[in-house]
């Protein structure tokens, strides 16, 4: 029976070293020394009772039985992470390994009147948080390598109806015997988002808001929405940004969850510029910016395209090598010594040129040759226009160089996505739409996402339709009006033609339609033109014919009688 979720859990009283634990399958495990503690439990070295080993290859996680996290982790392993299932997945995907720790057994034990739940796991090495505390940041290649390995893990657990929900450096551990491998551990907050194939519905619950590790948790978690697949990949994006830059934009406000949520919203809404500007001087986060942009476009119940995300992190498809956590050679130093004076504009122009060339290499490989050539011509023109005023720029050349570098970064930011060829973008859009329609037609959040993504396209089509309207001389064109043009009913032609018999119509020399009575000479035309308006004359003609017709009928009736 699952434990009740009290929200707050207690650390258990430590068990004595050497205590023997019996798991549910009858295997006996001997506790070694305690090597750590998590938020809710303790971790011990362990070895099988029938195979004593000084260098333990297993660990045992222990919690009080009423605690919830270890129970959730145990259920995840029993349902989704059995050894045979992981082995088949590795063979199916052609992987060399999958970063999920192996599970060996579980059970219950008693100590001093308290019941404990324990789980036997594979022993792992140091976690990345300790390495990050020592080095500050990771090399770019290491960050992208970690991202790809985590995508392998997330794809597997997502296919088995679970999300992790707490990806961070403290939960990423290197292998004990293979330190070049990385594993995602601690599934205490894992959540079954799609039980029996039925995806959870999007529903905000402020009472459950801001759950998880506040630095990395997703926007859905901030809103109290049940985690989904897009939450995991969003959290991974924040982690990569932290590993690459050494900090996150909202780290100063961690005590205010609402402020953190607002900062994350602004970061995602202003992609890719928000990420590129946050990157350290001399470093590049183009891949992370594009990764987050792709993640931000996902609907709540949409399945991420894991292969596309991997290609963003490794566009060249280069085989992954061993992990390296040294920061040596990571920074690209593009600056002048603080006490060195810049003598001429030539030095500043050279620095700008070097920055342009290095940033140029970061632009995506799928930019077409024609658009790249156009972009190069624009940069050359900017260089020429900046070098013509060298005499005036000598006084403040260092400030000018800094400003030009900033402008160039902004330009390249705008070109990261806008220069993608129309054909590749259309293909990408069709693939996204097909995947999105197949999984999110009945989701309220998905409908909102589709409306948001179609807003710009509908606006463009609307403007195109307006521009195709033919010009009218009898009314003023309003670009946002869809009503019929205003008809000028004071026109003499309309009145006369709508009410006069066709056999009385003729054309005057000046092109105005008039009747035979109006064009004839005599007393009657003179009197009518002198005393009656044009509209009144038309009424007189109309009712005159009616009276004449009635008189004829009366005469015929009298004649018959």
Average pLDDT over residues 25-31: 95
Q: What is the pLDDT of residue 87?
A: 96
Q: What is the pLDDT of residue 427?
A: 61
- 20-122 to CATH, choices 3.10.20.600, 3.30.460.80, 3.30.930.10, 3.30.200.20: 3.30.200.20
Q: What is the pLDDT of residue 269?
A: 95
> pLDDT tens-digit profile of 345-365?
444 445 445 544 544 454 444
Any idea which residues carry the catalytic annotation? Answer: 166
Predicted confidence band of residue 72 (pLDDT cuts 50, 70, 90): very high
Partners of residue 355 on adjacent β-strands:
none
Question: Are the C-beta atoms of 367 and 419 separated by less than 8 Å?
Answer: yes
**Where is 249: in which H helix or E strand?**
none
Angstrom distance (rounded) from CA 292 to CA 286? 10
Q: Measuring CA to CA, how many Å separate 476 from each of 54, 252, 380, 469, 481? A: 92, 56, 46, 12, 11
Predicted confidence band of residue 559 (pLDDT cuts 50, 70, 90): confident
Ranges of each domain in the chain = 20-122, 126-313, 443-487, 492-560
Angstrom distance (rounded) from CA 441 to CA 181? 39
Same-fold call for 20-122 versus 126-313: no
Give Dmax over CA atoms of the chain in angstroms: 138
Q: What is the pLDDT of residue 284?
A: 80
Which has more confidence, 213 or 400? 213
Question: Are the C-beta atoms of 71 and 3 separated by less than 8 Å?
Answer: yes
Q: What is the pLDDT of residue 418?
A: 52
Which has more confidence, 480 or 190? 190
CATH fold group of domain 126-313: Transferase(Phosphotransferase); domain 1 (1.10.510)
Question: Are the C-beta atoms of 2 and 71 separated by less than 8 Å?
Answer: yes
> pLDDT tens-digit profile of 392-440?
444 455 555 456 556 655 655 555 445 444 455 556 566 666 665 555 5
> pLDDT tens-digit profile of 309-351?
999 999 988 887 778 775 443 433 323 333 333 343 444 445 4
- Which strands sit side by side in the sheet containing 28-37, from one edge to the other? 20-22, 28-37, 42-48, 58-64, 114-122, 103-111
């Amino acid at each position: 029976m699952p434990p009740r979720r009290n929200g707050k859990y207690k650390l258990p009283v430590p068990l004595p070293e050497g205590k023997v634990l019996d798991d549910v399958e009858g295997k006996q495990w001997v506790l070694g020394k305690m090597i750590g503690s998590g938020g809710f439990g303790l971790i011990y070295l362990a070895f099988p009772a029938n195979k004593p080993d000084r260098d333990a290859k297993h660990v045992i996680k222990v919690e009080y039985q009423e605690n919830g996290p270890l129970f959730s982790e145990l259920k995840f392993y029993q349902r989704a992470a059995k050894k045979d299932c992981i082995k088949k997945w590795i063979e199916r995907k052609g992987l060399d390994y999958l970063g999920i720790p192996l599970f060996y057994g579980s059970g219950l034990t008693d100590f001093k009147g308290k019941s404990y739940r324990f789980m036997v796991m594979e022993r792992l090495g140091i976690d990345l948080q300790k390495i990050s505390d020592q080095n500050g940041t990771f090399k770019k290649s290491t960050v992208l390598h970690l991202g790809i390995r985590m995508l392998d893990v997330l794809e597997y657990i997502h296919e088995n109806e679970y999300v992790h929900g707490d990806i961070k450096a403290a939960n990423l551990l290197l292998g004990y015997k293979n330190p070049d491998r990385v594993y995602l551990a601690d599934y205490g907050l894992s959540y079954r988002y799609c039980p029996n194939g039925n995806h959870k519905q999007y529903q905000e619950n402020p009472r459950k808001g801001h759950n998880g590790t506040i630095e990395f948790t997703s926007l859905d978690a901030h809103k109290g929405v049940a985690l989904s697949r897009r939450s995991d990949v969003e959290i991974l994006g924040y982690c990569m940004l932290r590993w690459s830059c050494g900090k996150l934009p909202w780290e100063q406000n961690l005590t205010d969850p609402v402020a953190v949520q607002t900062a994350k919203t602004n970061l995602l809404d202003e992609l890719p510029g928000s990420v590129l500007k946050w990157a350290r001087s001399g470093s590049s986060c183009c891949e992370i910016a594009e990764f987050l942009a792709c993640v931000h476009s996902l609907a709540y119940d949409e399945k991420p395209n894991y292969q596309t995300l991997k290609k963003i992190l490794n566009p060249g498809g280069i085989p992954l090598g061993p992990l390296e956590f040294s920061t040596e050679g990571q920074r690209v130093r593009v600056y002048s010594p603080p006490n060195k004076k810049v003598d001429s504009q030539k030095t500043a122009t050279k620095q700008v040129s070097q920055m342009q060339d290095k940033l140029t290499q970061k632009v995506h490989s799928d930019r077409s040759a024609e658009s790249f050539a156009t972009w190069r011509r624009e940069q050359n023109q900017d260089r020429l226009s900046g070098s013509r005023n060298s005499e005036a720029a000598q006084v403040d050349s260092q400030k000018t160089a800094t400003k030009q570098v900033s402008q160039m970064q902004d330009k390249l930011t705008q070109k990261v996505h806008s220069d993608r060829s129309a054909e590749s973008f259309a293909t990408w859009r069709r693939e996204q739409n097909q995947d999105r329609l197949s999984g999110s037609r009945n989701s309220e959040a998905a409908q909102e996402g589709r409306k948001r993504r179609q807003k710009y396209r509908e606006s463009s089509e609307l403007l195109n339709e307006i521009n195709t309207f033919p010009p009218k001389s009898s009314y003023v064109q309003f670009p946002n009006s869809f009503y019929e043009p205003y008809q000028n009913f004071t026109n003499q032609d309309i009145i006369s033609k709508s009410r006069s018999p066709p056999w009385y119509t003729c054309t005057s020399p000046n092109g105005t339609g008039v009747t035979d009575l109006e064009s004839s000479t005599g007393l009657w035309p003179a009197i009518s033109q002198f005393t009656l308006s044009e509209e009144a004359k038309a009424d007189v003609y109309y009712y005159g014919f009616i009276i004449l017709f009635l008189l004829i009928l009366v005469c015929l009736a009298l004649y018959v009688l």
